[in-house]
A and B are shown apart, each in its own frame.
Chain A
Amino acid sequence: MLALNLLINGLVTGCALGVVAVSFQLAYSTTRIFHVAHAGIYTLAGYLAFSMVERGLPDPFAIIIAALICAALGALIQYALYATLERRRASHLSVLIASLGVLAVIQNVISAFYSPNIIPFTSAWRGQMMSLGLTEVQVATLIVCLAVFAAALLFARLTPLGKRIRAVASNPFLAEITRLRPQQTYIIVMAIASAMVAIPGALVAMDLGLQPYNGTTVLLTATIAVIAGGIGSLTGAFALAVLITVLQNLSLLAISGEWSVGITFFIFLIFMLFRPTGLFAQR
């Protein structure tokens, strides 16, 4: 029974993480920038949704608006910061450090503006129990995140924009020459990825509460899923995210929660040693 409960719980949280992983995958495989500030956008989405709900907006609208604002922010970071650094021929390391700086700024602005402490999302309908011991918002998270994942897959495979993005991702140099305008594509990709990550950001916050700094660990786990799943593979990222989360939850049957980080990291090391290209790598 406990195992079943942990499994179900893990599936829900895992799907949310899956969308984080997919969105990161999208941004990373296209722009090649390890955008750690993504964790800040994830966190910010929750707080934005919170502010809007406090003002009386219904939840779905709050999430959508949060996603739009995050999309704009993501695009801004790409346009104003990353593109500028690329123009100045900044080293890869410089971009990484700048991204870390953005993350620190976002987290601390949130902390100052709202509170450094945990803020619970005031529960209304969200805490209603449904079947399988899950609450309404957990069920919503499950469904919405799976839907977002499916949409992302379809988008990448079928739409012209999706194909363009994949083209730019696979060969930026060629893309430049063939007038696919990679820079513009990067901005679009960052906007999409940021909007995408805002969804689990808001949903998980609605379920569990807000905290300015715990996005970092979430992103770390998501990036491990991306790497283990294989760079370029959306399915790999999603699947591994769910798998890692379920394993983390089930590991509680055997050990205490203090080493959850260890489990995740251990998985990562295994992959680094034996299959550094990941499970479903596409290049």
Chain B
Amino acid sequence: MAGHTKAIADLSALGASLGRRDVLISILAGGLASTLPLGAWANDAGPIKLGAILPLTGPGAAVGTQQQRGLMFGVEQINKRGGIAGRPLEITYEDDQGRPDQAVLSFNKFVDLYHFPLIFSAYSGPTLAMAPLATRKEVVLINGGAQSDRLAKASPYLFNTIPVAGDEIAVLTKYLLENGKKNAAILYENDAAGTPSRDDFIKSFTAGGGVITGQEPSATGQTDYRPALLKLSDTKPDVLFAMLTDGLGALAEQLRQMKPDFLVVGTSFFNDPDALKNPGSNGWLHTQVKISAPPELAAAFKEKFGVAMEFWGTQYANAVFIVAKAIEKVIADGALITGANIRKAFFDVKTFDVMVPAVFTTNTAAMEIDIVQTQDGAHHLVKEYKAG
């Protein structure tokens, strides 16, 4: 398998220097070669090779590149400790531009040409597009970032190493209702991240007897929240559920100017450095999946990449640790490293005692979710809700 992969890599490199027609030929050659029966590859002592398809360019790029850093860091940490059962880990990265069709292309390339048994992914659109293919080809997809509830059931081969948004929001609404907050207004980003969370909030808040006083969308990239805030504030809510993945800094500033009566609440996305810097975020309440890297790892990350590890870096490094454990199990059982076996290992291991512990009884990780409040740029724990 190692030799075969190298041959394809050589062909591809040759193709790049020769020109378009020749690249097509090399792709064809690689494609044909990949249809030949190859036999088991787990018995090599060579590196364990996995794939990652992330939005490295396009609108999701800032998040995607940070996720990539997380993966790279995770790989480095694993290899520092001697790899997985003595074999080094390698991840090949591809950019899907945040687009589902490009993700499918990359997926097919990874599976047909490189035979990766497992692929890391991000963003619900691309992941949902790859999910049916993952089922068909029996390749494990690891989602470490997207939180759309659809992901929970999209494929038996899709594992979400982060609780889906619905889990966080369930905790949030429970806390709010327990503390007498009955009326809520919603400001949400009108895209694949924000709208499902809005739906989750409405469902669980009203199920507990709460009332939604109003909701306003924000377009992706929009920076002017004033008209929406004016309108929502007019409905006199107890809390404002702000579901934005980008622009929380600007929101904090505009809220600071408004001096509202209501409490501002949200999910893990409130971990936004721009927002935390702004005094407008004082008193904001949010759920926090218990994600924190131990200080020495966080420092090592900062030193290697020059940016703080933050949410995505930690999440994706953790995803690598989880996967490494699962593959360790496969090897320990003497089985081939295939998607089907890795999948089985996830449920066999079940409780992953890694950097951020996770429990897999379903395809979605159960983790501890806390309620925290921000004050002067720092978080203060308010309440804990344990996993399971």
Contacts and interface: CB of A to CB of B under 8 A. Distances in A.
Interface stretch (A74-82, A93-101, A158-166, A208-216): A208-216
Interface in A1-59: 1-2, 5-6, 9-10, 13
Interface in B34-91: 58-59, 61-62
A120 B274 contact: yes
A117 B216 contact: no
Given A117-B62, A120-B253, A209-B247, A252 B221 contact: no
Contact of B253 (A5, A10, A117, A127): A127
B230 A2 contact: yes
A1 B253 CA distance: 22
Contacts of B257: 127, 129, 135
Interface string B265-304: 0000000001001100000000000000000000000000
Given A1-B234, A116-B61, A256-B216, A208 B223 contact: yes
B253 A123 contact: yes
A257 B217 contact: yes
Interface string A197-217: 000000000001111011000
Count class of interface residues, chain B = 20 to 34
8 contacts: A116-B61, A118-B249, A119-B274, A122-B277, A127-B257, A211-B221, A252-B227, A253-B231
Contacts of A127: 253, 256-257
Interface string B223-259: 1101110110010000000000011011011101100
B71 to A, nearest CB: 20
B259 to A, nearest CB: 8
Contacts of A1: 234
B215 interface: yes
Contacts of B254: 208
Interface of A: 1-2, 5-6, 9-10, 13, 111, 115-120, 122-123, 127, 129, 135, 208-211, 213-214, 249, 252-253, 256-258
Nearest to B249: A120
B223 A257 contact: no
Contacts of A13: 224
Given A2-B231, A13-B224, A214-B221, 6 more contacts: A10-B227, A115-B62, A120-B252, A214-B223, A252-B228, A257-B228
Identify the interface centre among A10, A208, A210: most chain B CB within 10 Å of its CB: A208
B278 A116 contact: no
Given A129-B257, A211-B223, A257-B216, A120 B230 contact: no
A220 to B, nearest CB: 13
B253 A252 contact: no
Contacts of B351: none
Given A117-B62, A214-B221, A256 B215 contact: yes
Contact of B234 (A2, A129, A135, A213): A2
A211 B217 CA distance: 18
Contacts of A117: 62, 246
B190 interface: yes
B5 interface: no
Interface string B198-233: 000000000000000001111101111011101100
Nearest to B230: A5
Contacts of B61: 111, 116
Contacts of B253: 120, 123, 127, 209
Given A1-B234, A2-B231, A9-B227, A120 B62 contact: no
Given A2-B231, A127-B257, A257-B227, A118 B218 contact: no
B134 to A, nearest CB: 28
A252 B230 CA distance: 10
